[in-house]
Amino acid sequence: MFKGSIVALVTPFRNGKVDKKRIKELVKFHLENGTSGIAPCGCTGEAATLTSEEQRGVVALVVGEVKGRVPVIAGTGSNSTKEALDLTKFAAKCGADAALVITPYYNKPTPEGQYRHYRTLAQEADIPIVMYNVPSRTGISMLPETIARLSSLKNIVAIKEASGSLEQISKILSLCDITVLSGDDPLTFPMMAVGAKGVISVVANIIPHDVVRMIDAFFAGDLEEARQLHYKMLPLCKAMFYETNPIPVKASLGILKKITPEWRLPLCPPQPDTLKKVKSALKSYGLF
């Protein structure tokens, strides 16, 4: 159901408030560059520091701007099942095509707790659900067996895998036929080689067309072009994680004049040395 280059959209701020004008411009930019889907209000979208009202507003704004031209996968995760359910129901009501739901963080549920969390959302919210496994942020990883168990539920359609482990992806796909999407830009190409269908991408915020080209080339059978694009993008992918995401990618978008580079505490502007390295990576790529 979901495949290709799906951008993990940043949330631009201006003077501390959500910059709706820039969100509209970013959506237009991605549609013009062939992006396969848009995922607002995930980790890259700084959902952790958005108020509930702001998060709902961003999701509704993106859905309204996209107008059904590509899928919108709205970030609705929380470490509270009730809060995640409320957000997921809102995403369904406002017309999002799916909900991106991170594994509950901080409280570190057991595999059974993870199963019951996602089962509750799948049963009580009428919207496809993309699970999101990112142990570097949540402190816990989903077992392939838990993912396979959840894949049998009607509304569980995919998983964004950011464990950094090709063995994890291989085990998941050996156990079930759920759609796997890369959550690690540097691993998108090798993950597709073992069965992933695309990526929910950070670097696509700044080079959407090239991410689309790599994935399209791969599925067209042109592995050499896909491989060349993978290696071309790799240094820039790495640069997006010189500091905590989305610090470098928002700095990059600021350099490219696409947003006003603002973050919400506890995230802050990059250190001067980091900014220098980010600028160097952008320049080496030919972006300015």
Distance from the first to the final alpha carbon of the chain: 36
Judge residue 104's burial from the number of C-beta atoms within 10 Å of its C-beta, 0-12 exposed, 13-18 middle, 19 or more buried.
buried
Known active-site residue 132? yes
Which one of the listed residues 3, 115, 118, 132 is annotated catalytic?
Answer: 132
DSSP string of 224-238? Answer: HHHHHHHHHHHHHHH
Known active-site residue 115? no
Instruction: Give the distance from CA 36 to its chain's centroid.
Output: 12
Q: Given the DSSP bridges, would you call strands 37-39 and 4-8 parallel, antiparallel or unpaired?
A: parallel
Which one of the listed residues 3, 160, 250, 258 is annotated catalytic?
Answer: 160
What residue type is 83 in one-letter code?
E
Burial 122-142 (b: 16+ CB within 10 A, else e): beebebbbbbbbbbebbebbb
- Residue 95 near residue 126, CB atoms below 8 Å: no
User: Catalytic amino acids?
Assistant: 132, 160
